[in-house]
Amino acid sequence: MDDITPDYKIDITNDVCPMTFVRTRLKLETMTQGQVLEVTLGAGEPLKNVPRSVTEMGDTIIDLVELANTPNTYRLTIQKT
């Protein structure tokens, strides 16, 4: 969603599981309810596990899209709930 401006951004494309979720979770824990986090992540395990873990922890996935200029790289937008 292009009309949402994230409050924070992190890039976990160079991290491997479980650090991908750990870094995402640590950032979300510093945020207040309603704030938005944009996470750049790679395909494979991070793409499968991070969104699932985020929703299991109670936060909301706003959007998940593949970046047009970078194959196998995705933008996950999360709202802290």
Question: Catalytic residue positions?
Answer: 17
**61 CA to centre of own chain:** 8
- Give the tokens for residue 24: 């995402």
Q: Residue with structure tokens 């401006």?
A: 5
- Element (H or E) spanning 10, and its range? strand 8-11
